[in-house]
Amino acid sequence: MIDKGQPLPITRQAELLDLSRASVYYEPVGPSERDLALLAAMDEIHMEFPFYGIRRMRGELLDRGFVVGRQHLATLMRKMGMEALYPKRRLSKPHPGHRVYPYLLGGMDITRAGQVWTSDITYLPMARGFCYLTAIMDWASRRVLSFRLSNTLDASFCVEALEEALARYGAPEIMNTDQGAQPGFKESSQHRFPVLSIASR
């Protein structure tokens, strides 16, 4: 919009367009040689360790001889669209095709073992990556009846944990689960063991 070939002074053109004079004279500066080398190293590290966040990325860069502050590194990662890949803390988000079961524990006094079991899934950070942990617990005693670890978030390891608990302790009156992303686990529980009531919170 600013035409430097016009007889009207640039200052006046900027005033008419309500622009800052500094923005008119600003010349964009490309990345420095240091930043280009830094970006290349960041890209290499991210391809090898996609789960690295800013702190671990900075540590790896320091090991490779790049001295960079966290704020500058965060800016560069944001510009590159680089984000650590890790399981988000939304393991209880309902599966789109999952039936919503009624919640059966409202106002109930849970006083004895075998009355109500519960199950949930969490993830455990590892030195490189992560794994998922599911556990079957007795609600009254807080005893862990069985558990399984897996490196994939599917229903099979949940079902295995439930089957082990059933084989060792028999069926509870109520099996309580959240409305998570493993519909196979809940469906298997209800279909395989029809005596159970499923109480999804």
When the pLDDT of each residue in the chain is averaged and rounded to a whole number, the result is 77
> How confident is the model over 165-185, as a mean pLDDT?
75
* pLDDT band at 36; cut points 50, 70, 90: confident
> How confident is the model over 84-105, as a mean pLDDT?
65
Residue 164 has pLDDT above 90, yes or no: yes
Residue 4 φ/ψ, nearest 5 degrees: -75, -10
Concatenated DSSP letters of the chain: ---TTSSS-HHHHHHHTT--HHHHH----PPPHHHHHHHHHHHHHHHH-TT--HHHHHHHHHHTT----HHHHHHHHHHHT-------S-TTPPPTTPPPPPP--TT----STTSEEEEEEEEEE-SSSEEEEEEEEETTT--EEEEEEESS-SSHHHHHHHHHHHHHH---SEEEE-S-S-HHHHHHHHHH-TTPEEEE-
pLDDT, one tens digit per residue, over 126-161 is 666 668 889 999 999 999 999 999 887 778 898 999
Residue pair 158/148 in contact (Cβ under 8 Å)? The answer is yes
Residue pair 28/13 in contact (Cβ under 8 Å)? The answer is no
Residue 61 has pLDDT above 80, yes or no: yes
pLDDT, one tens digit per residue, over 83-93 is 887 665 555 56
Q: Could you tell me the pTM of the whole model?
A: 0.46
The domains located in the chain, with CATH, are: 10-80 (no CATH), 116-200 (3.30.420.10)
Record the tokens describing residue 39, joined without a space: 């970006």
Residue 182 has pLDDT above 60, yes or no: no
Angle at 117 between CA 116 and CA 123, to 5 degrees: 150
